[in-house]
Structure 1
Amino acid sequence: MATNLTLEPAELPTDAVEVGRIADAWGVKGWFKVLSHSSSPEALFSSKRWYLQPSERGAKTFAGTVLLSIRQAKDHSDTVVAWAQGIDDRDAAEALRGARIFVPRSSFPSTTEGEYYWIDLIGLAVVNREGVALGQVQELMSTGPQTVLVLTYEQDGKAQERMIPFVSAFIDNVDLAEKRITVDWQPDY
């Protein structure tokens, strides 16, 4: 496959967040399918500048970080499709297959009161009402009806995990500035 893929080298922004991957070409005019890391891919739609890095595995058609100026990104049948400047045919779109997509956190849409991006919660300390440290948010997990905070902590020198439902019944306060979540939860739950 020979393609004239010319991508603009760029530096990854310090607040860059990986939001998805390019899956494959879509159609013949340079559109491509995107596998979003989120069930609500607003960050993909709000940012017109995507930063790409090559996949860790497989053939690499570019190196380092490159900037992709997005002409259009939209939902299409349970997936996201996008079209970028300079990607004008199927071969060029296929050359991006597997690329990791990053967007600056600063370009994410604003959240409403009581709404948080998962990326903003990861790393926060979790304490209960009595001030007892319960752990640090390692990841979040969707269980269907609710989201669960997965905390890591150490007990007797061993790494442990604790899960707390991220629902108003247990979450008293999220303080992003203080990097702390206060919960109604006990260590022995």
Structure 2
Amino acid sequence: MSTDRRILLGRVAGDFGVRGELKLLSWTDPREAIFRYQPWILRSGDTEREVSGVRGRDTGKLVIATFPGVENREQAEALKGAEIWVTRDRLPPPRPGEYYWVDLEGLAVQTVEGVSLGTVSHLFDTGANPVIVISGERERLVPFVTDTFVKSVDFEAGLIVVDWDPDF
């Protein structure tokens, strides 16, 4: 697992008030956990900068943040739309049976019968469960449901074994 891999944790949604506070979209659980994983890499278009010392709170409806050096509405507005990234090594290890999606990307996928399906391109969430997108001779979508479809994840072998019909 590479420590330079990045994970998107959120986005600056806009300014909040006149003192330079910002509204954030946070994809951490709980939402305010985003403040634990600093420094952040703020990406706006082709521009990136690192920022530390961001403080904030979850108001129940919004996550509000105060960035060092951002003291008025104009400075806050300049950050609107910036993506909040962190390097993978900033996050704690997952609990047993849990996985960071970024750690699954690039792993080989084969059926329980040993048929190679390709490699994990990415994952997405349907609301019911995550789905693995496998790139091979064709693209396959496999629900990431452990014990039912995903039989094992072996990081040392770089392999996910699934109970999936290769013709589907």
Asked whether the two chains share a fold, i.e. TM above 0.5, the reply is yes
Matching residue of 1:167: 145
Q: Which amino acid aligns with 1:161?
A: E
Matching residue of 2:13: 23
Aligned: 1:45 with 2:24: no
What does residue range 28-177 of structure 1 map to in structure 2 within 5 Å?
28-36=18-26, 38=27, 40=29, 44-55=34-45, 64-154=47-137, 160-168=138-146, 169-177=148-156
CA distance in 1, matches of 2:40, 2:7: 10
Q: Which amino acid aligns with 2:105?
A: I
For the 8 Å contact 1:50–1:67, the answer to whether it is kept is yes
Shift of 1:103: 0.8
Shift of 1:132: 1.0
Shift of 1:34: 2.0
For the 8 Å contact 2:32–2:57, the answer to whether it is kept is no
Identity over aligned pairs, percent: 41
Shift of 1:42: 7.0
CA distance in 2, matches of 1:102, 1:142: 19
Shift of 1:53: 2.3
The runs of at least 4 consecutive aligned structure 1 residues that moved more than 4 Å come to: none
For the 8 Å contact 1:43–1:109, the answer to whether it is kept is no
For the 8 Å contact 1:19–1:43, the answer to whether it is kept is no
TM-score by length of 1: 0.76
CA distance in 2, matches of 1:85, 1:123: 36
For the 8 Å contact 2:32–2:63, the answer to whether it is kept is no
Structure 1 146/17 Cα, relative in aligned 2: closer, same or farther at 3 Å? closer
Q: Which amino acid aligns with 2:48?
A: T
Aligned: 1:182 with 2:165: no
CA distance in 1, matches of 2:164, 2:18: 54
Shift of 1:179: 2.1
Structure 1 110/42 Cα, relative in aligned 2: closer, same or farther at 3 Å? farther
Aligned-residue RMSD, C-alpha: 2.2
CA distance in 2, matches of 1:15, 1:127: 24
Give the secondary structure class of the aligned counterpart of 1:92: helix
Equivalenced residues, count: 164
TM-score by length of 2: 0.84
Structure 1 95/32 Cα, relative in aligned 2: closer, same or farther at 3 Å? same
Note the residue ranges of structure 2 that are not aligned, 5 or more in a row.
none
Shift of 1:167: 0.8
